[in-house]
């Protein structure tokens, strides 16, 4: 999986009797020029009460990082929405992609290779412009796969699932930004839940070739939707950077890829739960 750097933040001890003066906010250029200092972790400044505080430099770098991540994410979701809408409403294109499944498997191969490259190769995902090129290829391949999956469902159910996914992701994002609950400390629980979903998927793969069991398929989809909703909250708080664990400000490609993948999986599972297949 990914090798993105996570920063484990713990309050430092301040020298006794030491006071600090609130620094003057720097300009944008001054703030971003200090980005290399973040590689070693979070910058701390000691107050008179001994509490750890973020410096102005750290706050500005994190804001720039968050804007960059959500700008790329918005573009990715816009491209995916356009492709899903095209494959759902345009009958000739829908007919073509459903009759030519080879394009789906080709897209899956491209998706798998680009995902492994961006997740495992730190040097590649930090090298401009190759990181953006690979992210664009990854987005197009996954969008094609999502669009083809949506083409087998009723148009109204696809639009309904898009709306449900948008509402759920918006609520989870607001919750992650506002709550005092630290979801980044729940990695063990997420791992256990992931194993449950994985085993359920294996059981479903064994049963389906012999007989389709609707309730088993629905249970698996519900578990998957819950799991990736939790992952969305986890990844969102890693991007925020104000909890116990955070993602490095240099890993905007990995952060964007993670949140985008969470949203696509949530939509896919909702489509499996609420979608109505075409005759």
Q: Strand 52-54 to strand 6-8: parallel, antiparallel, or no bridges (unpaired)?
A: unpaired
Assess whether pLDDT exceeds 50 at residue 56.
no
Instruction: In whole angstroms, give the CA distance from residue 98 to residue 52.
Output: 57
Q: Is the pLDDT of residue 14 over 50?
A: no
Averaged pLDDT, 207-234: 83
**What DSSP line would sit under 63-126, residue for residue?**
HHHHHHHHHHHHHHHHHHHHHHHHHHH-HHHHHHHHH-THHHHHHHHHHHHHHHHHHH-HHHHT
Predicted pLDDT at 30: 52
**What per-residue confidence (pLDDT) applies to 53?**
45
pLDDT for 229: 92
Answer with the residue of higher pLDDT: 74 or 60. Answer: 74
How does pLDDT run across 102-134, given as a tens digit for each residue?
888 999 999 999 999 988 888 888 888 888 999
End-to-end CA distance of the chain: 38
The per-residue pLDDT of the chain, averaged, comes to: 78
The answer on pLDDT for 194 being more than 50 is yes
Q: What is the pLDDT of residues 63-94, one digit of tens each?
A: 888 888 999 999 999 999 999 989 988 888 88
The answer to whether the beta carbons of residues 172 and 229 sit under 8 Å apart is: yes
pLDDT tops 70 at residue 31? no
Residue ranges of E strands in 159-248: 245-247
Contact 176, 233 (CB under 8 A): yes
Residue 12 pLDDT exceeds 70: no
Q: Which residue has the higher pLDDT, 245 or 270?
A: 270
pLDDT of residue 60: 81
CB neighbours (10 Å) of residue 189?
A: 12
High-pLDDT (> 70) share of the chain, %: 77
Note the pTM of the prediction, 2 decimals.
0.75
Q: Report the percent of the chain where pLDDT is more than 90.
A: 25
């Amino acid at each position: 999986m990914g090798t993105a750097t996570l920063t484990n933040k713990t309050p430092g001890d301040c020298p006794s009797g030491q006071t600090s003066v609130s620094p003057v906010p720097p300009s944008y250029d001054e703030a971003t020029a200090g980005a290399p200092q973040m590689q070693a972790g979070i910058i701390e400044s000691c107050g008179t009460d001994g509490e750890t505080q973020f410096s102005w430099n750290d706050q500005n770098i994190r804001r720039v990082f968050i804007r960059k991540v959500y700008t790329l994410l918005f573009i990715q979701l816009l491209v995916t929405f356009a492709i899903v809408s095209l494959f759902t409403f345009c009958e000739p294109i829908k007919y073509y992609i459903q009759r030519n499944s080879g394009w789906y498997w080709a897209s899956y191969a491209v998706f798998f290779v680009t995902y492994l490259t961006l997740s495992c190769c730190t040097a590649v995902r930090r090298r401009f412009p190759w990181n953006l090129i690979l992210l664009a290829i990854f987005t197009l391949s996954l969008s094609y796969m999502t669009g083809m999956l949506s083409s087998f469902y009723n148009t109204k159910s696809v639009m309904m699932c898009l709306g449900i996914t948008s509402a759920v992701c918006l609520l989870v994002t607001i919750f992650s930004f506002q709550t005092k609950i630290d979801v980044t400390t729940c990695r063990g629980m997420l791992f256990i839940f992931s194993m449950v979903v994985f085993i359920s998927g294996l059981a479903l793969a064994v049963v389906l070739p012999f007989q389709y069991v609707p309730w088993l398929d629905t249970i698996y989809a519900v578990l998957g939707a819950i799991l990736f909703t939790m992952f969305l909250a986890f990844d969102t708080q890693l991007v925020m950077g104000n909890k116990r664990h955070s993602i490095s400000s240099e890993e905007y490609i990995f952060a964007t890829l993670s949140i985008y993948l969470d949203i696509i999986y949530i939509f896919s599972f909702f489509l499996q739960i609420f979608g109505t297949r075409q005759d």
